[in-house]
Amino acid sequence: MTQLMTSWVESANSAETPFPLNNLPYGVFSTNSLEARCGVAIGDMILDVTGLEEAGILTLTEEPVFDVPYWNDVMDLGPEAWEKLRARLFGILTSDSDEQSQVAPYLVPMADAMLHIPMVVSEYTDFYACRHHATNVGTMFRGAENALPPNWLHIPIGYNGRASTVVVSGTDIIRPNGQFKAPDAEVPSFGPSKRLDIELEMGAIVGTSTEMGQPVNAVQADAMIFGYVLLNDWSARDIQPWEYQPLGPFQAKAFATTISPWIVTKAALEPFRTPTPEREFELLPYLHEEGPSLYDIDLSVIIQPEGGAQEVISRTNYNEMYYSAAQQLAHHSSSGCAMNAGDLLGSGTISGAEKAQRGSLLELSWGGKEPLTLADGSTRSFIEDGDTMILTGHAQGEGYRIGFGACSGKITPAVKFP
Ligand code: MN
């Protein structure tokens, strides 16, 4: 197992920091004096790579790539350039670097920075690829006998979501309005969702584009992935069952998706690879993997009521997935669908086998039948206005961790429909 790599940025050398030299995740930030720009998290600081490029200290290609407030241009350069950048950042930040005095002026305290979405989200697709979650939800929606749809063990099921409403952590989420019908009601009604939920997911970011008509297999797909973020696929559980058949989720999911602000690269996660589980049916050849393609990443869901304390309500791990992001990407391209740099693939809700490992309130409260009791004595089946929902995650190395930063959003009241 890889050890903590040390940096001359002192705060990066603790066992607790999410951002040691081993990590080097990519984000976009601004301050009172700096316009939005590309940065790399190191300890409790951000390295201003846009500034370093302008100063001629960091050069990736002949043309500037950090002169825009998003990472898509770097993704477009391809895997060799990604490796070159990571190697250069190690050289700049490692404890025995001889560039410390030149580079130090380009460090900005994270506490003084505002974080923005790190990329232009070109497209967003969400999957349904964790067996515990699919079994739990299927049992609630269709009964235990039909819990897993007949295709589930053969296809990573997904739907095309909305890139337009993918937002960065810290953005308030307005409770959605929608149409729903209670089982005992004769006609549907319209209004604010009463069953607003989270979905704890990982987001994979596609870094290499493909042409229309040119599918990739799972091995090629793995090489195309640039990095990962935490992802909250906000869901309205009263809108969803009324609208989802036969074409899948629509307005129940379209109102918001939150991602964590730092893109953790595939390279940083390399020591934490774990295999997908045993297959009940052998997968078709285009979905075959050559090595382990999941990651051992501890994940938590935290709730913070208005004015209250934070409380962990679920803990699980990304290694609970049945399908990896590489398999999802291979399946996505299999028809000839073109994929783009900045394409975001939601893993699907991640739940473990135990109740305390479930990645949605729908599952934690079993559809509202078993409400959670919080430390302040209040109960929750679904999210109340004023609640902040926070996802966190990290891979645990020996004496260091690869963290993602929080993926959080506070719920504000629904708008009055005109
Ligand atoms: Mn989802």
- Does 352 reside within a domain? yes
- Does 5 reside within a domain? no
| Statement to judge: residues 112 and 163 lie in one domain | no
The pair of three-digit structure tokens given for residue 370, joined into one six-digit string:
């078993």
For tokens 């799972």, name the residue.
Answer: 218
Residue 151 pLDDT more than 70? yes
pLDDT, the chain, mean: 97
Which domain-ending residue is among 116, 141, 165?
Answer: 116
Identify the CATH number of the domain in which residue 174 sits: 3.90.850.10
| Statement to judge: residues 183 and 303 lie in one domain | yes
Which domain-ending residue is among 56, 88, 116?
Answer: 116
pLDDT in tens, 12-71: 999 999 999 999 999 999 999 999 999 999 999 999 999 999 999 999 999 999 999 999
Q: How many domains does the chain have?
A: 2
> Residue 1 has what pLDDT?
52
Which domain-ending residue is among 116, 151, 167?
Answer: 116
- Does 3 reside within a domain? no
User: How far is ligand 1, taken at its centre, from the CA of residue 318, in Å?
Assistant: 14
What is the distance of C-alpha 12 from the center of its chain? 23
Note whether 198 and 411 are within 8 A (CB). Answer: no
- Does 1 reside within a domain? no
User: How far is ligand 1, taken at its centre, from the CA of residue 26, in Å?
Assistant: 24
Q: What percent of the chain has pLDDT over 70?
A: 100
| Statement to judge: residues 82 and 175 lie in one domain | no
User: How far is ligand 1, taken at its centre, from the CA of residue 34, in Å?
Assistant: 35
pLDDT in tens, 287-339: 999 999 999 999 999 999 999 999 999 999 999 999 999 999 999 999 999 99
Note whether 203 and 124 are within 8 A (CB). Answer: no
User: 3-state secondary structure string, 223-246?
Assistant: HHEEEEEEEECCEECCHHHHHCCC
CA distance linking residue 316 with residue 349, whole number of Å: 11
CA distance linking residue 23 with residue 402, whole number of Å: 6
What is the span of the domain harbouring residue 78? 10-116
Q: How confident is the model at residue 262 (pLDDT cuts 50, 70, 90)?
A: very high
Q: Is the peptide bond before 277 cis (omega within 30 degrees of 0)?
A: no
CA distance linking residue 383 with residue 410, whole number of Å: 10
User: 3-state secondary structure string, 161-177?
Assistant: CCHHHEEECCCCEECCE
Identify the CATH number of the domain in which residue 20 sits: 2.30.30.230
CA distance linking residue 251 with residue 229, whole number of Å: 23
User: How far is ligand 1, taken at its centre, from the CA of residue 308, in Å?
Assistant: 27
User: How far is ligand 1, taken at its centre, from the CA of residue 193, in Å?
Assistant: 17
Of the candidates 131, 132, 128, the one whose C-alpha atom is nearest the C-alpha of residue 356 is 132
| Statement to judge: residues 97 and 139 lie in one domain | no
| Statement to judge: residues 198 and 342 lie in one domain | yes
Measured CA distances, 391 to 110, 183, 196, 259, 364 (Å): 19, 32, 16, 9, 15
The pair of three-digit structure tokens given for residue 320, joined into one six-digit string:
């609970």
Note whether 343 and 330 are within 8 A (CB). Answer: no
The structure's pTM equals: 0.98
The pair of three-digit structure tokens given for residue 384, joined into one six-digit string:
């109340």
| Statement to judge: residues 82 and 223 lie in one domain | no
| Statement to judge: residues 240 and 346 lie in one domain | yes
Residue 202: in which H helix or E strand, if any? strand 200-206
Note whether 253 and 126 are within 8 A (CB). Answer: yes
| Statement to judge: residues 180 and 324 lie in one domain | yes
Residue 133 bears catalytic tag: yes
| Statement to judge: residues 136 and 252 lie in one domain | yes
| Statement to judge: residues 109 and 255 lie in one domain | no
- Does 418 reside within a domain? no
The pair of three-digit structure tokens given for residue 204, joined into one six-digit string:
């994979």
Q: First and final CA of the chain: distance in angstroms?
A: 58
- Does 4 reside within a domain? no
Ligand 1 is an ion; its neighbours by CB within 5 Å are 126, 199, 233
CA distance linking residue 46 with residue 109, whole number of Å: 6
| Statement to judge: residues 216 and 167 lie in one domain | yes
Top-confidence residue, 403 or 182? 403
Q: How confident is the model at residue 134 (pLDDT cuts 50, 70, 90)?
A: very high
**Catalytic residue (one of 133, 331, 332, 394):** 133
- Does 2 reside within a domain? no
| Statement to judge: residues 176 and 52 lie in one domain | no
- Does 147 reside within a domain? yes
